[in-house]
Structure 1
Amino acid sequence: MAGEFDLIAKYFAPLAGPEGLGLTDDAACLSPQPGKSLIVTKDVIVGGVHFFDNDTPGSIAHKALAVNLSDLAAKGAIPKCYFLGLCLPRDIDEIWLSSFASGLKKMQEEYGITLAGGDTTSSPGPVMVSVTAMGDVPVGQMLRRNGAGAGDLVFVSGTLGDAALGLKCLLGELDPDDGLARRYHYPTPRTTLGPALVGLASASADISDGLLADLGHICETSRLGADIEEAKLPVSSRVRELVGENPDLAGLVYTGGDDYELVFTAPEEKRREIDAVAGKTGVRVTVVGRISDTAGIRLVDQNGELVQSARTGYQHFET
């Protein structure tokens, strides 16, 4: 295979935007727009942890960008550019790299983001992809986790549990299901909804580790709690069917990760405007509960009984 700089010139330089200077320098040059705050986020995905070793390079590229774009969406930021770090085993060939670069290009075209720089290195370990993504939001308008207020409604975008059940399918613990597996491999960052919530939402996070875990971050930083109704959690018809057949799967709806939906809060008087935003962006939003001044998250079933959950979501290093 060609050397590092030849590979960069062939596969990644064509993806660079003006900030990346054609990837001919060892740094980028960014000029934030007047009146905008630059929002920066970083995620690393690792083979055997976040994706399977036999996943297609295109799906790996998609997920690497999508999880970062989801973080930007949760902050209300419009994506602009990203930096890419690659650690690749020595036996990776150019067919893999070509497919990976094609996956990045497809995401760039869909979400209006360009490559600004990065680094590529060989490694004896699994494939590791590190992305640092940048976006902007009007100064002082970034959506944070700590802005929820007692009495605020809790909203969720899209549907929950599809990716977690998709992972079960891929692990052979459930019958194969292409639709659920696709939700795991190809998350959809809510990049139109997030920026449209600026000025409406009081707090926001993306659901990467599970609804209860990520809502928990909002509650902890806002020093409040939440009351959530299990019956109101939005699920797809397939998830509803599988949970109906096996109630033990129900917990994955609120603790399963990889949904990359948004959970956000807003005062009740903003609900009409939020519904209008949902209609305009084509993203379903559902009210699932309310923020409380009593600490902790209480998930109740349709009878008002507390649903006990041993886990709230995924955590690295947890034993």
Structure 2
Amino acid sequence: MKKLSEKEIIELMNKKKNRSEDVEIFKLGNEQCAVCVDTLVESTDIPKCSKLSDISRKSVVSSLSDFASKGIIPKFCIISLTLPKTISKKQVQELSKGFSKVCKEFKIQLLGGDTNQGNEISIHVVLFGNVKNFIRRNDAKVKDVICTTGPFGYTASALEIIMKKRKSVQSFSTKSKNLFFKPKPRLKFGQESLNYITSSMDSSDGLSSCLNELSNQSKKKFLITKIPTNDDVIEFAEKNKISLNRLVFDGGEEFELVFTVTPKNLKKIHTLAKKNKISIFEIGHVSKGNGVFFDDGNDSFIIKDKGWQHFR
């Protein structure tokens, strides 16, 4: 029997819907609200060297990043925990510390939740927010510029260093691990750029997955002409004989925004990015057709969806 992928499972569950979004919009009286849910599981999402306070913070950041891609303001969250009966008081306090920190950092009210016993740590976060307007994944236009809010490759490099003991200079190792364990959702930028972006998605599952999803939903061809990374990532890849494209396109866990914008709004986007101390990478453009392709004049290839998927 063929194994189902995460995307196939989602498609089966959503077969009555004509779109796929990580955030759902609904009306509550006269108010338009947003909700999203995310789950973090110890065996698949938590490296053994992790601090539990970082992990609990990151579990909420994952949902915040989805809100950032839509320009939504977060307000409330509910958190459900599954914990092994061997967990210590100190470990529970570390988890609580991370939740308190992230809620204070982003002005979210923790309403409560549920606690259960299980074989490993599992964190389920439900995030609620207010919506006036929001950005979809399916509105990319021909001639739009494809952008990201930051460089890619650091989080995948961090996992190579942690899991496979890859060689790196200390400064690069520290930088990569910080970006992996302490990500910063682009919440303010997403909210402020809401009216200038045509389509958007958060990159937590990997840049290749993100680009293919935006392309598929918009029914447009995405041509990538620049790899969004920095020299130190290139040096790390070369030193360890790792594919740079794999680190950049297929790594995941970046929590950056990948979005499209009309050329006339590019200047405004760069102004907002500078205000929020974010680097914008212009990596390609949208055209008629379908699929995601790379061509920088020296190299060309199809960018397939090889990002993170459960059940793959």
TM over 0.5: yes
- Equivalents in 2 of 1:259, 1:55: separation in Å? 17
User: Where do residues 247-266 of structure 1 align in structure 2 (5 Å cutoff)?
Assistant: 248-266=243-261
Aligned match of 1:137: 131
Q: What is the CA distance between 1:312 and its match in structure 2? A: 2.8
Q: What is the CA distance between 1:183 and its match in structure 2? A: 1.5
Aligned match of 2:229: 235
SS class of match (1:251): helix
- Alignment of 1:196 with 2:192, yes or no, is yes
Aligned match of 2:111: 116
- Alignment of 1:178 with 2:174, yes or no, is yes
- Equivalents in 2 of 1:252, 1:65: separation in Å? 24
SS class of match (1:256): coil
For the Cα contact (< 8 Å) 1:251–1:309, is it kept in 2? no
Q: What is the CA distance between 1:211 and its match in structure 2? A: 1.0
In structure 2, do the counterparts of structure 1 residues 84 and 66 end up closer, same or farther at CA, with 3 Å as the change threshold?
same
For the Cα contact (< 8 Å) 2:292–2:302, is it kept in 1? no
Unaligned runs of at least 5 residues, structure 2: 1-26
Which of these two proteins has the greater Rg computed from alpha carbons? 1
User: Where do residues 33-52 of structure 1 align in structure 2 (5 Å cutoff)?
Assistant: 37-52=32-47
Q: Say what the alpha-carbon RMSD is for the aligned residues.
A: 1.9
- Alignment of 1:162 with 2:154, yes or no, is yes
TM-score, scaled relative to structure 1: 0.83
Q: What is the CA distance between 1:217 and its match in structure 2? A: 1.0
TM-score, scaled relative to structure 2: 0.85
- Equivalents in 2 of 1:247, 1:100: separation in Å? 34
In structure 2, do the counterparts of structure 1 residues 174 and 301 end up closer, same or farther at CA, with 3 Å as the change threshold?
farther
In structure 2, do the counterparts of structure 1 residues 54 and 33 end up closer, same or farther at CA, with 3 Å as the change threshold?
farther
In structure 2, do the counterparts of structure 1 residues 205 and 310 end up closer, same or farther at CA, with 3 Å as the change threshold?
closer
Name the amino acid aligned to 2:110: L
Name the amino acid aligned to 1:201: I
SS class of match (1:150): coil
In structure 2, do the counterparts of structure 1 residues 275 and 249 end up closer, same or farther at CA, with 3 Å as the change threshold?
closer
- Alignment of 1:287 with 2:282, yes or no, is yes
Aligned match of 1:14: none
- Equivalents in 1 of 2:99, 2:143: separation in Å? 41
Unaligned runs of at least 5 residues, structure 1: 1-30
- Alignment of 1:107 with 2:99, yes or no, is no
User: Where do residues 82-101 of structure 1 align in structure 2 (5 Å cutoff)?
Assistant: 82-101=77-96
Name the amino acid aligned to 1:190: R
The list of structure 1 runs, each at least 4 consecutive aligned residues, that deviate by more than 4 angstroms after superposition, is 31-34, 308-311
For the Cα contact (< 8 Å) 1:81–1:135, is it kept in 2? yes
Q: What is the CA distance between 1:251 and its match in structure 2? A: 2.2
Name the amino acid aligned to 1:195: Q
SS class of match (1:155): strand
- Equivalents in 1 of 2:167, 2:103: separation in Å? 33
Percent of aligned positions that are identical: 28
User: Where do residues 16-35 of structure 1 align in structure 2 (5 Å cutoff)?
Assistant: none
- Equivalents in 1 of 2:156, 2:130: separation in Å? 31
